[in-house]
Amino acid sequence: MNLFAAIDIGGTAIKYGVVTQEGKVLCQKKIPTEAYHGGCILMQKVIHLVEELQSEYPTIEGIGVSTAGQVNPIDGSILFATETLPGWTGMEVSAILQKHFNLPVQVENDVNAAALGEAWQGAGKQAKNFLCLTIGTGIGGAIVLDDQLYRGEKGIAAEFGHIPIVPDGRPCTCGNKGCFEQYASTTALVREVQSIVQQKEIDGRWIFQQAQLGNQQCQEAIDQWVKNIAIGLTTLTYIFNPSLIVIGGGISAQGESLMQQIQEHLQEMLMPSFYKGLKVRSASCGNTAGMLGAVYSLLMRKKLNQCNYSIIQ
């Protein structure tokens, strides 16, 4: 059995485990990222986690890494990471792991990895052309065209969260105003409800629970938020003409009823020729999507012989 170590690095937690060549997750674990210690300590932690997996599964043949931040798809280094992962920018993740373990390594952006995981074993399994969005603190994106991940000129395509949808709108962390994620992320929904109910300690789950209990203010905020999501998806649909849009992140916990609401708004906004056949689905791989996608990316690059797996001495 061909086994691969999978590491999924997020700002809050690192999920890690072992995945087979057939896409079966043999084990999955989770520890706090503790990113405040800095990039070098985080890199050492990743090495320790792979060593832990090797002690349990000595026949591991490669390492797939999913990580927040912009990743150089050629050499597996971090082009840019926000202060969510301080000191991570510039980290030569692939080179360090190859040198330490003498194994092939593939490093992938977290949303790209999630899309590949869904394409391999999840909601995108039967789709040749689909978009994947993660809606949570912000909005991340990935593009699959003709069964291939589209990366763009510099490998950092699909920054969907920063598509402007409101001229001179709310300031965004990117420095622009009116970006998609300022109106359609879970953070945006929480901010809107906080301004209405004057209550600080709330989250997306609380808002949906209140709406189900008949809270009209929460329901109205959700309705507008869903419309905002559909506005951004309308733009993306006109550009890419996908057969499927897969939505993950915290929003996916609300299930297919919310996806149906989004789809209904899309039907109203899109020209019939673009809407015909378009499906909106929740991501189905859950917490394993990033791990699966990281390993799948490794397998694809190895199969296509597009990555140099020579070991750095």
Determine what percent of the chain is predicted with pLDDT higher than 90: 82
91-146, pLDDT tens digit by residue?
999 999 999 999 999 999 999 999 999 999 999 998 999 999 999 888 999 999 99
Angle at 61 between CA 295 and CA 12, to 5 degrees: 45
Question: For 236-264, what is the mean pLDDT?
Answer: 91
Question: For 255-264, what is the mean pLDDT?
Answer: 91
pLDDT at 176 over 80: yes
Radius of gyration of the chain (CA): 20
pLDDT on residue 312: 32
What end-to-end distance do the CA atoms of the chain give, in Å? 28
Please, which pLDDT band fits residue 308 given cuts at 50, 70 and 90? very low
131-145, pLDDT tens digit by residue?
999 998 889 999 999
Closest by Cα among 47, 164, 173, 157 to 112: 157
- The C-alpha atoms of residue 100 and residue 46 are separated, in whole angstroms, by 11
pLDDT on residue 304: 60
195-237, pLDDT tens digit by residue?
988 777 899 999 999 999 999 999 999 999 999 999 999 999 9
Side chain identity at 75, as an amino acid letter? D
pLDDT on residue 313: 27
Please, which pLDDT band fits residue 305 given cuts at 50, 70 and 90? low
- The C-alpha atoms of residue 126 and residue 124 are separated, in whole angstroms, by 6
Compute the mean pLDDT over every residue in the chain, rounded to the nearest whole number.
92
pLDDT on residue 310: 39
- Count, residues in the chain: 313
Count of alpha carbons within 13 angstroms of residue 67, beta-carbon side: 32
DSSP string across the chain: --EEEEEEE-SSEEEEEEEETTS-EEEEEEEE--GGG-HHHHHHHHHHHHHHHHHH-TTEEEEEEEESSEE-TTT--EEE--TTSTT-TT--HHHHHHHHH-S-EEEEEHHHHHHHHHHHHSTTTT-SSEEEEEESSSEEEEEEETTEE---TTS----GGG-B-STT-SB-TTS-BSBTHHHHSHHHHHHHHHHHH--SS--HHHHHHHHHTT-HHHHHHHHHHHHHHHHHHHHHHHHH--SEEEEESGGGGG-HHHHHHHHHHHHHHS-HHHHTT-EEEE-SSGGGHHHHHHHHHHHHHHHHT-S--PPP-
Question: Residue 60's beta-bridge partner residues?
Answer: 3
Question: For 149-158, what is the mean pLDDT?
Answer: 89
pTM of the model: 0.87
Question: For 244-269, what is the mean pLDDT?
Answer: 90
Please, which pLDDT band fits residue 48 given cuts at 50, 70 and 90? very high
Question: Residue 17's beta-bridge partner residues?
Answer: 6, 28
Hey, which of 100-104, 173-177, 308-312 has the most confident mean pLDDT?
A: 100-104
Which domains can be identified in the chain, with CATH numbers? Answer: 3-110 (3.30.420.40), 123-284 (3.30.420.40)
pLDDT at 167 over 50: yes
Please, which pLDDT band fits residue 309 given cuts at 50, 70 and 90? very low
pLDDT on residue 139: 93
